[in-house]
């Protein structure tokens, strides 16, 4: 962090440095004043649990490692946006849907919701594709953000000045779109035809955020879905040629995500041409994570990467009928930090730390994250107030 060279700021900087050393992420230079996060379960910090307080993610052992109680995060502890916030010396992002009147959101908010899709729910409803939760898509999240702005800043120009010092994390999102299609009987060939629409939805969100003043945006690509214990379970094949010999992952599922990432990078190049004043950073989550599946021991995951820490049944300890957080599920790991996979669809806290570290310290962010430093931003902020949310779920 960049601070004035006074004893107060020096001591604060020293405190943050010592604190972050225990979290496993080195503090970084820069002074983002806020972070706004959008996406799905990889970055949700409690929005879905606000919508459905009976969800299995609201039960122990979720949250056991860091918070020591469930928080709505799909992890045993923190998720990657938590590590990003801590690295920039900012508080953990509150879930937007759970905000209360007068809550201070001037340092950021999290709009990500577990299960969210890039494409609006109406698309799936028209095709009679079930399981999709309405009103939580990326488009809905962008609308929530737009609705929050009048409560944060006093004018459009003031909002733009404020948002110049904000970091926007747009995703990862899109995996749920493909998962819902597959769960309702679509083949991978058919799913592939929808990838351009998924990517277009992400590009539209980036465009809207920039139009409203965002200047620094991180847009992650999709993870290697063919390595997820949940996909390895529900899409299991008797043909050994369907699996990668080095990783044990399903090749065609990973090829689908590579195609998604290729189109996403083309779309981001288009956004850069439209908005040359903005910094649009592509975060290569795919290759960040693929390294772990190739060599889990190299990254400290001595118990491997494919099997779920929390779950039940099958070769990957992952059965959709016995989800982590239900009475039937079992925790097979005494130390989650030695495992990459938490519940079949999400990394452990240690896995999230690795992704965040690769994004912040490289080499998997293109271009690297840089931060403005404008200490006059506070003069454009209003008294914090969480606006009324009238949308039903």
Per DSSP, the residues of 179-237 read: HHHHHTT--HHHHHHTHHHHHHHHHHHHHHHHHTT--EEEEE----GGG-HHHHHHT--
- Structural element, H or E, at residue 36: strand 34-38
277 has catalytic annotation: no
346 has catalytic annotation: yes
Please tell me whether the peptide bond between 172 and the residue prior to it is cis, using omega within 30 degrees of 0: yes
Catalytic residue among 34, 37, 41, 75, which?
Answer: 41
Q: Are 96 and 144 in contact (CB under 8 A)?
A: yes
Instruction: Report how far residue 82's alpha carbon sits from residue 255's, in angstroms, rounded to the nearest whole number.
Output: 29
Catalytic residue among 44, 343, 352, 358, which?
Answer: 343
Give me 200's structure tokens.
Answer: 């277009």
Catalytic residue among 207, 260, 339, 346, which?
Answer: 346
Q: Look up residue 283 and give its DSSP letter.
A: E
Edge to edge, the sheet with strand 279-283 lists: 108-110, 34-38, 166-170, 216-220, 279-283, 365-366
User: Number of helices and strands (H, E) in the chain?
Assistant: 13, 8
Give me 206's structure tokens.
Answer: 């980036």
Instruction: Report how far residue 386's alpha carbon sits from residue 98's, in angstroms, rounded to the nearest whole number.
Output: 10
Residues in a beta bridge with 366: 282
> Three-state DSSP class for 115?
coil
120 has catalytic annotation: no
Q: Are 48 and 113 in contact (CB under 8 A)?
A: yes
Helix, strand, coil content of the chain in percent (nearest 5): 40, 10, 50
Give me 132's structure tokens.
Answer: 């999709």
Which residues carry out catalysis? Answer: 41, 343, 346
């Amino acid at each position: 962090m960049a601070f004035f060279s006074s004893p107060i700021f020096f001591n604060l900087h020293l405190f943050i440095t010592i604190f972050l050393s225990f979290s496993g992420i080195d503090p970084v230079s820069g002074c983002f004043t806020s972070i706004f996060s959008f996406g799905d379960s990889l970055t949700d910090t409690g929005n879905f649990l606000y919508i459905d307080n009976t969800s299995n993610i609201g039960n122990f052992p979720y949250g056991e490692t860091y918070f020591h109680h469930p928080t709505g995060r799909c992890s045993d502890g923190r998720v990657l946006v938590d590590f990003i916030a801590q690295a920039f010396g900012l508080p953990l992002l509150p879930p937007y849907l759970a905000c209360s009147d007068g809550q201070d959101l001037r340092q950021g908010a999290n709009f990500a919701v577990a299960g969210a899709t890039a494409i609006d729910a109406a698309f799936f409803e028209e095709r009679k594709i079930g399981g999709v939760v309405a009103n939580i898509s990326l488009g809905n999240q962008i609308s929530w953000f737009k609705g929050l702005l009048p409560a944060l800043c006093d004018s459009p120009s003031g909002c733009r000045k404020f948002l110049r010092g904000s970091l926007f994390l747009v995703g990862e999102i899109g995996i749920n779109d493909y998962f819902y299609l597959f769960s309702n009987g679509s083949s991978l060939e058919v799913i592939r035809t929808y990838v351009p629409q998924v990517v277009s939805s992400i590009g539209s969100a980036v465009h809207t955020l920039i139009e409203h003043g965002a200047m620094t945006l991180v847009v992650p690509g999709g993870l290697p879905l063919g390595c997820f214990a949940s996909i390895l379970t529900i899409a299991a094949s008797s043909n050994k040629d369907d699996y990668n010999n080095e990783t044990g992952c399903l090749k065609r599922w990973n090829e689908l995500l590579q195609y998604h990432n290729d189109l996403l990078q083309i779309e981001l190049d288009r956004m850069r041409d439209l908005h040359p004043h903005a910094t649009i950073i592509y975060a290569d989550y795919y290759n960040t994570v693929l390294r772990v599946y190739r060599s889990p021991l190299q990254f400290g995951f001595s118990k491997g990467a494919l099997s779920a820490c929390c779950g039940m049944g099958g070769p990957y300890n992952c059965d959709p009928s016995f989800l982590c957080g239900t009475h039937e599920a079992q925790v097979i790991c005494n130390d989650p930090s030695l495992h990459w996979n938490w519940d079949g669809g999400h990394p452990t806290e240690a896995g999230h730390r690795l992704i965040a570290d690769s994004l912040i310290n490289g080499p998997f962010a293109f271009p690297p994250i840089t931060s403005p430093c404008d200490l006059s931003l506070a003069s454009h902020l209003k008294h914090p107030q969480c606006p009324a949310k009238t949308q039903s779920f």
